[in-house]
């Protein structure tokens, strides 16, 4: 059962603030004393809100940001047996799947270091704006753990020649390096980061809402399909979208 709006707003006590301002749904990581480490409860709230939007869309943009000096240094590892560890893994993978598949256009506003799950969460967003001084990386291998969840989608964003060393050695990279290999969208000064995110969101909201949803839906599907499949689907999609546009013009 999905939590109601008041329950979601109370999630700040769990280290996550959920806010709605007109067409924007905002998740703010608010667990700064622990490096904005994401807990199971925080992930549950994110999933509930994203599931709500998938069923009954009301927002148009998802904004993910954080309070404090770091964006997110990873996620909670509380599991101590096979079942609890499997549940943890499933929860974090499902959260990122929902962000990536969401009908909302997602914008990550990364003001500080993003490591492990934190960097992965930002990458699956449609737009990733990062402050110039942020350190980014996947340090899991330094603890003897292959970052399998991240590897499962990283090559969708960066070429294997860049992606494999990043996960194998666990070295951090800066925002400019991440931009050059295709993992983020824009490098900003810390002072200008929120303004650039605001400006981007304003551009998105100026577009036709139905067209934006269809554009993201087809773009996301196209990444998983073969070229031949996309060609067949494109003709039908163009027909449906063109008819809808003509109907709106009447």
pLDDT confidence of residue 4: 43
Closest by alpha carbon to 20, among 8, 38, 29, 36?
Answer: 8
**Spatial separation of the C-alpha atoms in residues 79 and 152, rounded to whole Å:** 21
Query: Which of 218 and 202 is assigned the larger pLDDT?
Result: 202
Stretch 94-99: mean pLDDT: 95
pLDDT confidence of residue 2: 37
pLDDT confidence of residue 10: 47
**Spatial separation of the C-alpha atoms in residues 130 and 200, rounded to whole Å:** 13
Query: Which of 170 and 84 is assigned the larger pLDDT?
Result: 170
What CATH class has 5-206?
alpha beta
**Can you give the three-state secondary structure of the chain, one letter per residue?**
CCCCHHHHHHHHHHCEEEEEECCEEEEEECCHHHCCCECHHHHHHHHHHHHHHHHCCCCCEEEEEECCCCCECCECCCCCCHHHHHHHHHHHHHHHHHHHHCCCEEEEEECCCEECHHHHHHHCCCEEEEECCCEEECCHHHHCCCCHHHHHHHCCCCCHHHHHHHHHHCCCEEHHHHHHCCCCCEEECCCCHHHHHHHHHHHHHHCCHHHHHHHHHHHHHHHHCCHHHHHHHHHHHHHHHHHHHHHHHC
pLDDT confidence of residue 89: 84
Has residue 1 got a pLDDT over 70? no
Sign of the CA dihedral running 239, 242, 247, 250: negative
In which residue are the tokens 């990536």 written? 100
Residue 237 pLDDT grade (very low, low, confident, very high; cuts 50, 70, 90): low
**Spatial separation of the C-alpha atoms in residues 176 and 20, rounded to whole Å:** 31
In which residue are the tokens 């499962």 written? 152
Residue 175 pLDDT grade (very low, low, confident, very high; cuts 50, 70, 90): very high
Q: Please, what is the average pLDDT of the chain?
A: 89
Domain segments of the chain as ranges: 5-206, 209-249
The CA-based angle 72-74-79, given to 5 degrees, is 145
């Amino acid at each position: 059962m999905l939590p109601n709006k008041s329950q979601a707003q109370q999630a700040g006590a769990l280290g996550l603030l959920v806010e709605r301002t007109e067409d924007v749904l905002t998740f703010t990581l608010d667990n700064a004393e622990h490096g904005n480490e994401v807990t199971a409860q925080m992930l549950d709230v994110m999933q509930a809100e994203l599931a709500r939007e998938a069923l009954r869309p009301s927002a148009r943009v998802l904004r993910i940001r954080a309070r404090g000096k770091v964006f997110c240094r990873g996620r909670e590892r509380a599991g101590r047996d096979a079942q609890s560890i499997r549940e943890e893994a499933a929860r974090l993978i499902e959260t990122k799947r929902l962000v990536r598949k969401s009908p909302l256009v997602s914008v990550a506003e990364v003001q500080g270091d993003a490591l492990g799950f934190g960097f992965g969460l930002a990458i699956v967003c449609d737009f990733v704006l990062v402050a110039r001084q942020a350190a980014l990386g996947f340090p899991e291998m330094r603890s003897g753990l292959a970052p399998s969840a991240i590897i499962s989608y990283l090559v969708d964003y960066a070429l294997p020649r860049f992606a494999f060393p990043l996960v194998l050695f666990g070295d951090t990279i800066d925002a400019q390096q991440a931009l050059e290999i295709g993992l983020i969208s824009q490098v900003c000064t810390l002072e200008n980061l929120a303004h650039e995110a605001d400006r981007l969101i304003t551009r998105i909201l100026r577009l036709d809402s139905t067209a934006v949803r269809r554009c993201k839906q087809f773009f996301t599907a196209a990444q998983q399909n073969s070229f031949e499949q996309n060609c067949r689907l494109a003709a039908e999609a163009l027909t449906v979208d063109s008819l809808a546009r003509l109907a709106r013009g009447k």
